[in-house]
Structure 1
Amino acid sequence: MSKRATLAVLLPTLALSVMGCSGEDGGKDDGGGADPAERLSAARTVLDDAASIELDLATKALPSGITGLLDAKGTGTHAPAFDGAVTVSLKGVPVKADVISVDGTVYAKTGFAPDFLPLDPASIGAPDPAALMTADGGISALLEETDDLKDDGESRDGRDVLTTITGTISGEDVRALIPTAQADATFDATYRLTDDDVLRDVTLDGLFYDSDEAVVYTIAVTASDDDVEITAP
């Protein structure tokens, strides 16, 4: 076969190969992966099916003079119930307490009192930590109440590669989680998911208190199959 004939055969094949490669790359660049809403829905299912959830919620700072929640760390169930510790800022003064929330009642024990005593969390600008665990209105519900979803790509967290998904949530939906959030505000949400669509953490940025200064809360969660029994003190 002549060189000219050989080229006539090879060139169309080469062109098809290049077009095929371009199509694959274009699919990836155009967001050819799983839909962000579907991934968040799958992540919600993992949380809702968990027997218990380890929670670590924190903010670096609150607006000056605000009474509110600085951090909460512990174990919760869908009862809903929670057993852990929280730190609240009482007009700038941090106060730590052991907290148990069960059957709709929050009990707190601080360094000022030797026993657990009933507490209205709204009086210190904090949510009932057990409310964070409910399937209807808790952390998991936020995943399907988020609008304007966008896949922001991957990043490394230690050995893990996580996908970041961003969006916005209405203040009314955030209030179900943290009641002091401004109802007419819009909150920015950033979720980080594993390849298996397991939620690593969510960051919420917005007007959580009666202040024009935004607050950023990061909520890390770990779903577990371990059954945990939480009872009133």
Structure 2
Amino acid sequence: MRRPDACHTVRVRLRVLALAAAAALLSSACTGGDDEPAADPAALAERLSAAKAVIDAAESLDVALATNELPRGVTGLLSAEGRGNADPAFEGDVSVVAGGTSLAAEVVSVDDELFVKTGFSPVFVRFDPESLGAPDPAGLLDPDTGVATILERTDDLAEDGQSRDGDDVLTTITGTLAGEVVAEFLPTADATGTFQVRYRLTEDDELRDATIAGPFYEGADDVTYRLQLTASDEPVTITAPERTGG
């Protein structure tokens, strides 16, 4: 009887090894043995608290809160972008929608007063933001009721993977916010509703950005706002405009 040559024997052994490796991989996939354990919600809460501590310790903050659009017929905030501190005080630009028209203005908010200058006015005038369903932008930076407080008041925390932003690796954390929390800094929000939130944190637990989606305006579709709060160790001084009207 003819004996198998050495090459045939090697080929048979390689096929057997390949089949064994495939079986092992299939078994691992079916049992989930290699799955990473879910992140501990308590550990995620600690990371969000660390992110808030960075914001609270900042000398000043660059802030941006914006949505791409508002539902038809809604009067409210389209965007607010500027710089401020925890006094709270703010200076920057705000856009609102009223009667289907977008209105932009320079704003200064300090000492519980809001001053606005639009393209139609050569001077700043005192203004009540509630008349347009918009928040006082300085209120966004209030350490007790401002937007950063959501970092420690989020429920149902879960990790949703990692992504890259340039050289930075960011961790996404999802959760829910009670409407009464959101209404503290954006008063048009449904205080009885539930909002979905997504945070992105750097490896050093600094907030890169957040998105908040939910019933911000009564009787309208849900709206999604994107928030950026960037801490700075450079102080900023904000004072009321010298020339005001109203």
TM-score range, shorter chain: 0.7 to 0.9
Q: Where does residue 234 of structure 2 map in the other structure?
A: 226
Instruction: Give distance in 2, aligned partners of 1:56 and 1:116.
Output: 22
How far has the Cα of 1:227 moved from its partner?
0.5
Which of 204, 208, 214 aligns to 2:212? It is 204
1:98 aligns with 2:109: no
Which of 186, 193, 206 aligns to 2:201? It is 193
Q: TM-score, normalising length from structure 2? A: 0.82
Contact kept, 8 Å, 1:75 with 1:83, in 2: the verdict is yes
How far has the Cα of 1:44 moved from its partner?
0.5
Q: Where does residue 134 of structure 1 map in the other structure?
A: 142
Instruction: Give distance in 1, aligned partners of 2:93 and 2:38.
Output: 44
Equivalent AA in structure 1 for residue 172 of structure 2: T
Equivalent AA in structure 1 for residue 64 of structure 2: D
How far has the Cα of 1:159 moved from its partner?
2.1
Contact kept, 8 Å, 2:174 with 2:197, in 1: the verdict is yes
Equivalent AA in structure 2 for residue 29 of structure 1: P
Contact kept, 8 Å, 2:179 with 2:190, in 1: the verdict is yes
Cα distance, 1:33–1:157 mapped onto 2, change above 3 Å: farther
Gaps of 5+ in 2: 1-32, 242-246
Segments ≥4 residues shifted beyond 2 Å: 25-34
Q: Where does residue 51 of structure 1 map in the other structure?
A: 59
How far has the Cα of 1:36 moved from its partner?
0.7
Q: Where does residue 181 of structure 1 map in the other structure?
A: 189
Provide the secondary structure at the position in 1 that maps to 2:49: helix
Instruction: Give distance in 1, aligned partners of 2:212 and 2:41.
Output: 25
Deviations 1:85-113 (A, max 9, x none): 01111122011000000000011000111
Instruction: Give distance in 1, aligned partners of 2:159 and 2:52.
Output: 17
Q: Where does residue 118 of structure 1 map in the other structure?
A: 126
Gaps of 5+ in 1: 1-24
Provide the secondary structure at the position in 1 that maps to 2:122: coil
Provide the secondary structure at the position in 1 that maps to 2:152: coil
1:217 aligns with 2:225: yes
Provide the secondary structure at the position in 2 that maps to 1:126: coil
Q: Where does residue 74 of structure 2 map in the other structure?
A: 66
1:77 aligns with 2:85: yes
Equivalent AA in structure 2 for residue 88 of structure 1: V
Aligned residues: 209
Contact kept, 8 Å, 1:63 with 1:211, in 2: the verdict is no
How far has the Cα of 1:57 moved from its partner?
1.2
Equivalent AA in structure 1 for residue 135 of structure 2: P
Instruction: Give distance in 2, aligned partners of 1:32 and 1:125.
Output: 38
Q: TM-score, normalising length from structure 1? A: 0.86
Computing the radius of gyration from Cα coordinates, the structure with the larger value is 2
Contact kept, 8 Å, 1:64 with 1:91, in 2: the verdict is no
Instruction: Give distance in 2, aligned partners of 1:30 and 1:41.
Output: 19
Equivalent AA in structure 1 for residue 151 of structure 2: L
Equivalent AA in structure 1 for residue 190 of structure 2: Q
1:145 aligns with 2:153: yes
Cα distance, 1:44–1:179 mapped onto 2, change above 3 Å: same
How far has the Cα of 1:125 moved from its partner?
1.1
Provide the secondary structure at the position in 2 that maps to 1:153: strand
Identity %: 52
Instruction: Give distance in 2, aligned partners of 1:140 and 1:148.
Output: 18
